[in-house]
Amino acid sequence: MINKIAEGGSPGDQPAVRASGLRVTRGRREVLRGLDFAVPAGSVTGLLGPSGCGKTTLMRAIVGAQSRVTGTLEVLGEPAGAPALRPRLGYVTQAPSVYADLTVRGNLDYFAAVLGLPRAERPREVERVLDEVDLARHATALTRDLSGGQRSRVSLAAALLGTPELLVLDEPTVGLDPVLRNALWQLFHRLAEERGTTLLISSHVMDEADRCERLVLMREGRVLADGTPEALRRRGGADSVEGAFLALVAADSDNERGAAGPADPDHEREPRR
């Protein structure tokens, strides 16, 4: 296992998420295999790794929606899944989780009520999040009549209700055009800068890495490395985070082969392709 780069925020800052020896089993497989990392409070942190490496499982564990979790997982100073965390977290799943037969505003009114926002505050709060995701002019449209990207933004707006301290966003920019992607990244940074919100954003597209202040790189249920994009590029000896990721994967594979000891002699006899 290669050494991980672990740079926290300022000393004494409590991280928004802290995992130690985190393991998750799904079905018969251990899909998270002993994760140690921290997400500094107020940061825009990217969770990057190939499809199937465990990003969604990790996010589900952080928001308390995953069973069979062992090890330590602290979220905003509480154990993950603690009921007190519910109003402090926003979670956007990969598939839009809104009602197709309600209008955009109807969906947001409903989620504001579920969240327990006082009735008198709801209309103002709904208009605020509609503006934030640039959907105010579609407020009266039925959600089923929206494009895929617009529907994703309704889910995002719902997660922004009540000003959560931690936003966990599972591939929020997939399928969006470059202009919209750019606008969303600007919104993410604005939320972090103006409100101190922590954002944990997953992606399997490495070119989004440089939009993040911090990265957690995952591979096959493990954290391969974490740190700033710059530190990771340096660590991987590459110009891009993608190059660094590939170099770190290669080093990790060499390491694993080394740890596994000499090759199986039967395997040596197999014909080379």
Ligand X SMILES: Nc1ncnc2c1ncn2[C@@H]1O[C@H](COP(=O)(O)OP(=O)(O)OP(=O)(O)O)[C@@H](O)[C@H]1O
Report the SS3 class of residue 76: coil
Please state, in angstroms and rounded to a whole number, the distance separating the CA atoms of residues 205 and 173. 10
Please state, in angstroms and rounded to a whole number, the distance separating the CA atoms of residues 208 and 122: 34
CB of residue 119 vs ligand X: minimum separation in angstroms? Answer: 37
Of 61 and 232, nearer to ligand X (C-beta) is 61
Q: Minimum CB separation from ligand X for residue 31, in Å? A: 4
> How far is 56 from 272, CA to CA, in rounded Å?
37
Nearer to ligand X, 41 or 53 (CB): 53
| Token pair listed for 35 | 């994760």
> Min. distance of Cβ 223 from ligand X in angstroms?
12
Nearest distance, CB of residue 54 and ligand X, angstroms = 4
At 17, give phi and psi (nearest 5°).
-135, 135
Q: Based on CB atoms, which residue is closest to ligand X, 108 or 212?
A: 212
**Of 121 and 207, which has the nearer Cβ to ligand X?**
207
**What six digits make up the tokens of 258?**
């080394």
In the complex with ligand X, which residue's Cβ is closer, 68 or 195?
Answer: 68
Say if residues 57 and 32 touch (Cβ distance below 8 Å).
Answer: yes
- Tell me which DSSP letter residue 1 carries: -
Q: How far is the CB of 211 from ligand X (least distance, A)?
A: 18
Positions that interact with ligand X (CB under 6 A): 26-27, 29, 31, 49, 51-57, 204
